[in-house]
Amino acid sequence: MSIESAKILILSFEIVIMVVSIVIITIGIFQSKNSQSGLSALNGGNDELFSNSKERGLDKTLSNWMTVLGIIFFLVAIAACIITNIYL
């Protein structure tokens, strides 16, 4: 792989990372604010930390998308770092 093709590949990875991060932020805005957070558990403000509350409907779908997009973001970022260190 030449240096020019490596630069183009890295640029495409950076574009993918930027798009995925914007989608993650957008989904984060639409997620329910009622969800149990770990920070409130540390403060003592969460009395129902271990209750059996399951996500349903849109909350579950958004949570699944956040997980998938987070994994994609991580893998593409690692690939961009490896290609940068090998070819540039």
User: pLDDT tens-digit profile of 8-51?
Assistant: 999 999 999 999 999 999 999 988 776 555 555 555 555 555 55
Backbone dihedral region for residue 55 (phi beyond 0: left; psi -120 to 50: alpha; all else: beta): beta
Per-residue pLDDT tens over the stretch 59-77: 889 999 999 999 999 999 9
CB-CB contact of 88 with 13 (8 Å): no
Domain count, the chain: 1
Burial of 38 (0-12, 13-18, 19+ CB in 10 A): exposed
Domain extent, residue 46, equals: 3-87
Q: Which two tokens stand for residue 21?
A: 């991060």
